Structures are given as C-alpha cells and as structure tokens.
Structure 1
Amino acid sequence: MAHPSEAELKLNLYIKFLRERLFFEPTSATLHYNLGLAYSQKGQLDEAISEFKQALENDPNLVDAYVNMGGMFYQKGDMDQCIDANLKALALDPKLAIAHSNVGFAYLQKGDYENAIESSKQAIEIIPDNLQAYNNLAVAYIQAEKPRESIEASLKILSINDQFAPAHYNLAVAYRLTGAMKEARKHYEKAKALGYPIDSAAEAEWRNEE
C-alpha cells in the first residue's frame, strides 16, 4: 500500500485546518472557497462543488467560485452545469476572458459549434493572445466545416507561439479539408515532432494519404 506523499499530508492537514475554522466561522465565504480549492486538488469533485456553492451562498459576488465550480462540473462531464456556472461568472464580470473561453470549450464538447465560436471570439476580444480560445476557435471551425477560418485562427496561434503543437495538428486537418495536401503533411509532421498525441486510427488515415 502506497504511503501518502508529503504534499498529500500537507493538503490533508490544510483541509483539517479549514474544516476546524469553519466550525467557528460557518458563514465565511473565503474559508468555504479555499476548502473547495483544496478538495479540487484532491480530486474530490462533489465535495469541492459543495464548498463552492456554500461560498456563493455567503458571498454571491465571488466570481472565482463560479469559475472553479464550472471546472469541477467539466471534470464530471456535465457540460450544461459547466456552462451555467461560467455564465453566472460572466453575469458578474462580462470581461472575464477565462469564463468566455471555458464556455467556448464546453460548447465545443457538446457539439454546439456556433456557440463555441461565438464564446471563443469574445474571449479573444478581451485577451488577443489567448491561445486556448484561439485553439477552441480553430477546432470549432473545423467541426463547423469552415476550414479556411480554422486555418486563419491556427496561423494566428503560430504567430504568437510557433511551437504550439495543437495548432499544427489543426492546420493539418484544415489544410487537408481544403485539398492543400503538401501544407497538411508539413503541419502533421510538425505536430508529431512536437509530441502531439495522435491515435493509431488517425495515423493510419494519414498514411493512406501518402
């Protein structure tokens, strides 16, 4: 049986400390929020969500609690609750780029590509070099059968960071959709060289293109 690491022991002690503090200060939004973060580090998603909810009951303006709660729902595979939590954060702070990006990514997982595109664009408008939002946008455009728009988004990523492997892979897919196989192959090989994970089915598909 594996023994807990020093970091795990410290985290457990921190959780114990927060729970003891909450016994005396049950309405402290900060303590509930910090306990939620600690539970999230342990992967205890339901406990984390419960603490974030209690934090919000005591401070309805605690934007970060909504964002982190959305992250827990995402990990549980509940995209609707993830979107709802981040939209509540945006109701408090419409300029919160991370919440727009999170909503875009969740819509992408749901297959709602138009909303994914719109939310990703809003994130980029706030933070113009937001690589994750650009990547969400590139993937959503591919899925929406708009490869040229996807290429534009991925090229923007590479102008910021030319070692961003997902952008090279998305370019490979988008260029292939437009029939530009030379460019597609170049970016596919670059994505592989940068360690982008490509499953065996995709690898076989690319070999057939040779």
Structure 2
Amino acid sequence: MTTLRFPSGLYGVTPEWDDTDRLLAAVRAAAEGGMRALQLRRKNASAQQRAEQARALAPLCRELGVVFLVNDHWRLALEVGADGAHLGRDDGDLAEARAAAGADFVLGASCYNELDRARQLLEAGADYIAFGAVYVSPTKPQAVQAPLSLLAQARDLATAHAGQSARRAAVVAIGGITPARAPEVASAGADSIAVITGLFEAPDILAAARTCAAAFNP
C-alpha cells in the first residue's frame, strides 16, 4: 500500500503575528484539534524575528508531534532543527536544498496552477506539491487561481512518479480554504490543506482545526 511522504490532513500556515506567545498558544490549540503539520510563513518579519519564532516553534512542534517547516528559508530550517522547508518559485533550487539537507528533510514546493512545474519538482525530490489559490485568498488576493479539478490530475501525476515505490509525494491545496470548504477540497483530490486565515483567525482555533481535520477522517 502506498503511503504519503507528507502528513495527510490539516497543514497550518502561520499568520503575520509578531506576538510569539500568542502564536505558540494558537499552534497548541490547532494541534489539539488535529493539525498534522505547520509552516512558519513570515513574509513581513525581520530576519531576526523570523529566526526567533522558528527557534520557538521547532521544539513545540516536536513536543506536539507536528511536522514543522519553514517557508522560503531552508538553511534557517536546518539551523533551528525544523523538519523541512517550503519553497516558492523564487526561494532557491529544490534539488540544491535536497542535496544539502539529505533525504529525510521534508521539502515541499509551490506549483501554482502548473502541472509541468510539479513534474519538474517531483523529479527534483519534492515530498509534496502545492497548488493554489484554489479559492480567492485573503492573504494573497492577486494569486493565480488553480481549479479544484487540477488536484486529481496532480495526484495522478504524483502516483505515476512514485511508480513501484511504497511512498508518494502528497498533493497540498492552498488559498482561501475555510473549515466549511475543507470537505470539498479533500474530495477533489487534496491529501492535505494549507490554511492560514481560516484556522488562525477563526473565533475558535480548536474547533476550526477539528472541522478541517474531520474532512480527511470521514
């Protein structure tokens, strides 16, 4: 039976909060609700702020059993003992990161709405391929749109690439996903959903996480 190289279910992505204590408490609540992985995404922070939060989150995620990734900065991820990194188009070469970090380091990458890019990233050693925005995103309102129909195609691509291997790369959906939309995205073919606002800006983070996670455990 084929297993995934990245956790299925809820993949939390941090909001732009400078308050680290607030962030740590929110991550605990999300993990209690079933969040399986977390990405530190701080586009507007200083390098020092980003590093400080990465150093605080790495041991917490280890304690909670949550896979921890750093957005953009794979060298920082290695430095703080994170499990991996997420790379966008302008965040360096995934193959270079794989060669430097080793086979056990989790690497995911943004594919936007491009299956050809996903194919190249799988060849370079990506553990997951992320598509979006699948809905209009409050975080990136100008982001390219990726139709839900692309997710099933991406899963077929990842399965074909795995061949006879017991493990395949996961398909992650991102962009405008709310707890209410999670079942639709899961049914469309996503192995995991990356959620920022719908999780961390929810009135009840624990409840939001439970609803998202339930979409993958019907």
Give your verdict on TM over 0.5: no
What TM-score, normalized to structure 2?
A: 0.26
Q: Which structure is higher in strand share?
A: 2
What TM-score, normalized to structure 1?
A: 0.27
Higher relative contact order (CA 8 A, sep 6+): 2
When Rg is computed on C-alpha atoms for both structures, the one with the higher figure is 1
